Amino acid sequence: MPSLKKATSTMNDTYIAVFGYNSMSFELINQLKKKHQRIIILDSDPNKITQAEKNNLVAQCLDYRQDEDLISLGIGSHLHSLFCFLENDSENVFLTLSARSLDKNLQIISIINQPESAEKLLAAGANKIIDPYEICSHKVYQLLSKPNLNTILEQVVFGRADLNMAEIVVPEHSFLDQTFIQDLHLNKHYNLFLIGVADKDQEEKLYFSLGEQDHQLAVGDILIILGSQKDIKHFKQKIGEIE
Amino acid sequence: MFTRLVLYIAYSLKTSTRYHRVKLGVYDVLENSRCRLKSYFDVFMIFLVMSSIFLLIYEVKNPTQAWMNYFEDTTIFIFLCEYLLRGWIYSDIHKIIIQQHENTKYLNQKFQIHKALQPVLKNKLDYLLSPSAIIDLLAILPSYRPLRILRIFLIFRLFKLLRYSQSIQMFMGILKSKRFELTTLAIFMGFLIFTASTAIYLFENEKAGGQIDTLYDAFYWSIVTITTLGYGDITPLTTGGRLITSALIISGLSVIAFFTSIIVASFNEKMNEFQQHRIKGSIEKFQNSIILCGFGRVGQEIAQQLHNNNKNFVIIDNNPQHFELATEKGYIALYEDACNNKTLLQAGINSAATDILCATGNDVTNVYITLTSRYLNPDINIISRVNRINNSKKLYQAGANHIVQPFSIAGLLAAEHIGQPVAFDAIHGILHQQKDVQLETLTILKQCFLDQKTIGQADIDQYKTRLIGVISDNPNHEKHRNRYKLHSQHFYFNPEEKFLLTEGDILLLLGRKLSLDSLHALIEKSHLHYE
């Protein structure tokens, strides 16, 4: 396995595995590359592997049915996330099941074709299910009913403009601990928009800051904010998460 | 002189818009099944017929009262008006006369009034002799005092109901379409009855010791027997008579079986047609509808959302399984190829439709539908699904306003999930309406209560919604921070308190549906108030 050695040797710490090199995973790989994530592409079809290698991607031909191959890939050691983008739901279920039995903490994200497969994949141990058809239909409906919203999201939030979404975990000994959401006024003080807060103690239940019931922050709660890279960085410095 | 008067009237009718308007109005009420007034009129007429029949039955044993006569007279008057109006709208006399006049002028002949009136009379005679007109007339006639004997014909009023009920019309249509089979059956039955009556008369006459003494008895007996009804008031006593009876019962069974099967088969054949007809009727009633081409996985999801939001939509799919699924769910669907101009026109592309969604799994089909739709309607909003990224440019060339790539959005979202899964879930939930909280855009209308107010004055927080930003093309804001270019406008993220809102600005808000809707209503209301 020369290519894998090459891949793992350059990756000292964690990396992401994407199973399936096809039209479905194409955009995913692009996005992950943009985020400077370390990725390895796996497919059982050698032709697709050569194709991926032509595009300067780290790729390896692998049979997902063999547990040994999965272990040698780094499941259970230095693989932190796994994307199941194989073409059949049954393949994705099998892969999820095998990977989960090897590593309890692995992030497994899988694509589905049929809505009824969602339950099976979750039962097999996937963390997140993505139904492209459902998302597509939502998108079409959004274009139809809220065209303005769609433009903003596309151009600004998901686009190239410097407006990002970020998660900030409330660190220990920061002024955030024990503050009420109402009193934060992130928009005035830090030029950030607070979308909501996920409570750590209640299985990450989401509280929106809409001025209804107030929520007191605690260590480990996650703030979901929207803002420019610079402002987010500034805020992180203020709460002492980064120097 | 008379000729000139007729021609003058004919031409002035042709140019009179009022005449045409009135005639069209009458047509709508009496004949146009798409007109709402017609259904009210039909219900009213059914009521009249039923109540007059009820009075007829009541009078059999009870004394007639004065108000009943008034009611009867009114009913007759309405029936008479309807009869005459139907005759009037049946055809346009003035058109026929003008046509005749122009023909003779062209041929350089002399215009003769009696020649022109011939086709007119023929035309109106056609109306008088049409079955429904005869029924109408028979329903009116018995009320004329000297013809009181014909009271039995009042029953014909019930036949008038045929006109007003669609299901009866449907049944008549079936009978009409099976005219040949039914005629054959009737001839066969007539032959059977004739033979059987003759035979039974020969065997069972009183001289031979039977009960049948007239040919009419024989005829009555054979009808009772052939339908397997068998009252038993006349029974065969001789051996020959019994043989005839057995034979007639068996042939009677086959006749009835034959008749039933004709009707059932015809119903099956016509059912589809009626359904399609009904669907076309409901499409024509639509306003602001959406055409959804393709009912595959994506199409089904979209349809579900449109349905949940009470939008009108028409599905076009030529896959029998998809079509069946759509009808099962109670959606309005056309079992046609969406690439045909005819299909798209039928779905209302040039009338009620505002948007077209191409959701088929085949890019070639999507391009073709997009191209066809753009050609048929240059202003319609076309949103198309594209499966291969390389084809997106072609779809824009074909005229699509927006394209959606299922796999690339899925990839984008999957990548978002790495690093910030909580934020991903939040935004995913908000965007896809899985949570009650939504993102919404609201436009500032002229003179509404937010127009010419600063963000600080507006205090949008009091409506329990949060302002994320404002889209504006107002050049005054150019110095404002957090400016993001958005086509010809700018998006101002987290605007300052002194930011002035003006007409046409769009607010991007986060909030629960309830508060967003109420804010929207407030804007609309204050806008209308100042208008």
Q: Which two structure tokens, joined as six digits, stand for B128? A: 């008088």
| Of A127, A117, A45, A124, nearest in space to A83 by CA | A127
Size of interface A-B (CB pairs under 8 A): 216
Taking an 8 Å cut-off on Cβ atoms, the answer to whether B411 and A26 are in contact is yes
CB nearest to A83's CB, from B414, B427, B486: B414
Of B107, B137, B164, the one marking the end of a domain is B164
A211: nearest CB among B357, B387, B461: B461
Q: Is B484 on the interface with A (CB under 8 A)?
A: yes
Closest to A197 measured CA to CA, from A177, A223, A176: A223
Tell me: pLDDT of B191 over 90.
yes
Query: Is residue B463 one of the residues assigned to a domain?
Result: yes
The verdict on a CB contact (< 8 Å) between B493 and A227 is yes
- Does the beta carbon of A138 lie under 8 angstroms from any beta carbon of chain B? yes
Distance from the B294 Cα atom to the nearest Cα atom in chain A, whole angstroms: 12
Q: SS3 string of B17-57?
A: HHHHHHHHHHHHHHCCCCCHHHHHHHHHHHHHHHHHHHHHH
Helix (H) or strand (E) holding B356: strand B353-358
pLDDT, residue B316, reads: 92
CA proximity to A169, closest of A128, A218, A213: A218
Q: Which residues of B touch A146 (CB under 8 A)?
A: 439-441
Average pLDDT of the segment spanning B209-235: 87
pLDDT band at residue B138, thresholds of 50, 70 and 90?
Answer: confident
In B, minimum Cα distance to A38 occurs at B418
Q: Quick one: B400 and B490 in the same domain?
A: no
Are B510 and A210 in contact (CB < 8 Å)?
A: yes
* Separation between Cα atoms, residue A226 and residue A235, nearest integer Å: 12
**Which two tokens mark B370?**
């997009």
Whether B28 is in a domain gets the answer yes
Tell me if A42 sits within 8 A of A64, measured CB to CB. Answer: yes
CB A227 within 8 A of CB A164: yes
Higher pLDDT among residues B150 and A49, named by residue? A49
Task: Compare all CA atoms of chain A with the CA of B493 and give the residue at the minimum distance.
Answer: A227
pLDDT for B95 equals 84
The model's confidence at residue B147, banded by pLDDT at 50, 70 and 90, is: low
User: A residues 62-81 near B, CB within 8 Å?
Assistant: 81
Domain assignment present for residue B279? The answer is: no
What is the average pLDDT across B80-108? 85
Q: Is the pLDDT of residue B45 over 80?
A: yes
Q: Which two tokens stand for residue B48?
A: 């009249």
DSSP, collapsed to helix, strand or coil, labels residue B246 as helix
Please check whether residue B277 lies inside any domain of the structure: no
How distant is the Cα of B301 from the closest Cα of chain A, in angstroms?
6
Contacts of B406 in chain A (CB under 8 A): 132-133, 135-136
How large is the average pLDDT for residues B437-451? Answer: 85
Cα–Cα distance list, A49 to A41, A88, A134 (Å): 8, 19, 29
Instruction: Answer yes or no: are the C-beta atoms of B350 and B376 closer than 8 Å.
Output: yes
| Same domain as B123, residue B26 | yes
Residues B156 and B208 in one domain: no
Question: Any CB–CB contact under 8 A between A164 and chain B?
Answer: no
Residues A171, A175: Cα–Cα separation, whole Å? 9
What residues make up the domain containing B515? Answer: 436-530
* B381 plus B505 within the same structural domain: no
Tell me whether residue B174 is in a domain: no
User: Is the CB of A26 less than 8 angstroms away from the CB of B481?
Assistant: no
Which residues from chain B sit within 8 angstroms of residue A153, using beta carbons? 431
Q: How many domains does chain B have?
A: 4
The answer to whether residues B362 and B464 belong to one domain is no
Distance (Å) from the alpha carbon of A195 to chain B's nearest alpha carbon:
8
Query: What pLDDT is attached to residue B434?
Result: 67
> Does any CB of chain A come closer than 8 Å to the CB of residue B247?
no
Q: Which domains does chain A have, with CATH numbers?
A: 2-132 (3.40.50.720), 164-239 (3.30.70.1450)
pLDDT tens digits, one per residue of B46-78: 888 888 888 878 877 888 788 888 888 888 888
Mean pLDDT to the nearest integer, B162-189 = 81
Q: What is the ipTM of this complex?
A: 0.78
Residues of chain A neighbouring B439 (CB-CB closer than 8 A): 146, 149
Domain identity same for B156 and B189:
no
pLDDT of B194 higher than 90: yes
* Domain closes at, from B140, B164, B188: B164
A191 close contact with B: CB closer than 8 A:
yes
B297 CB near a chain A CB, below 8 Å?
Answer: yes
Tell me the average pLDDT across B27-51: 82
| Backbone torsions φ then ψ of A165, nearest 5 degrees | -100, 140
The model's pLDDT over B228-237, given as tens digits with 9 standing for 90+, comes to 888 888 888 8
- In angstroms, the CA B170 to CA B267 distance is 9
> Taking all residues of chain B, what is their mean pLDDT, rounded to a whole number?
84
B113 with B206, same domain: the answer is: no
Pair B347, B238 in one domain? no
Query: Measured between alpha carbons, how far is B482 from B505 in angstroms, rounded to an integer?
Result: 16
pLDDT at B367 over 90: yes
Q: Does A173 touch chain B (CB under 8 A)?
A: no
- Look at B415 and A107 and tell me if their CB atoms are within 8 Å: no
Instruction: Please state, in angstroms and rounded to a whole number, the distance separating the CA atoms of residues B142 and B79.
Output: 12
- Specify if B172 maps to a domain: no
Mutant choice from A15, A27, A127, A207 vs B, greatest count of B C-beta within 10 A:
A27
Confidence at residue A11, expressed as pLDDT on a 0 to 100 scale: 44
Q: What is the DSSP string of B434-462?
A: SSSEEEEEEEPPTT-TTTT-BHHHH-GGG
Please name the residues between 406 and 425 in chain B that touch chain A, using a CB distance below 8 Å.
Answer: 406-423, 425
E strands, A44-163, are 59-61, 79-84, 107-111, 128-130
Q: pLDDT by residue (tens digit) across B317-354?
A: 989 999 999 989 989 888 888 888 888 888 888 888 88
Residues of chain A below pLDDT 70: 1-13, 156-161, 204, 211-212, 241-243
Residue B345: inside a domain? yes
Residue of A nearest to B513 (CA): A210
Residue B220: the pLDDT is: 92
pLDDT at B238 over 70: yes
How big is the CA angle at B376 (ends B371 and B379), to the nearest 5 degrees? Answer: 90
Of A139, A163, A227, the CB nearest to B484: A163
Cβ <8 Å between B411 and A144: no
Name which of A142, A144, A183 to mutate to probe chain B: the one with the most chain B Cβ atoms within 10 A of its Cβ. A144
**Statement to judge: residues B255 and B303 lie in one domain:** no
**Which one has a higher pLDDT value, B145 or B286?**
B286
Instruction: Answer whether B308 touches A (CB < 8 Å).
Output: no
Residues B136 and B260 in one domain: no
Cα–Cα distance measured from residue B129 to residue B311, given in angstroms and rounded to the nearest whole number: 47
- Residue B276 resides in a domain: no
Kindly state whether A154 is in contact with chain B, defined as any CB-CB distance less than 8 angstroms: no
Name residue A91's amino acid: E
Instruction: Give the pLDDT confidence score for residue B292 in this predicted structure.
Output: 92
Domain boundary, last residue among B164, B195, B225: B164
The domain that holds B202 is classified in CATH as: 1.10.287.70
Higher pLDDT, B163 or A193: A193
Instruction: Answer whether A85's CB lies under 8 Å from A16's CB.
Output: no
One-letter amino acid at B479 equals: K
Instruction: Report which DSSP code applies to A180.
Output: B
Query: How far is B420 from B208, CA to CA, in rounded Å?
Result: 106
Letter for the amino acid at B360? Answer: T
- B296 → chain A, closest CA residue: A133
Task: Please give the Cα distance from B11 to B432 (Å, whole number).
Answer: 63
Pair B311, B354: CB distance under 8 Å? no
- For chain A positions 90-129, those within 8 Å of chain B (CB to CB) are 107, 109, 111, 113-114, 127-128
pLDDT for the residue numbered B219:
92
One domain for residues B77 and B159:
yes
Mutate to test the interface with A, among B395, B408, B513 (most CBs of A within 10 A): B408
Same domain, residue pair B356 and B475: no
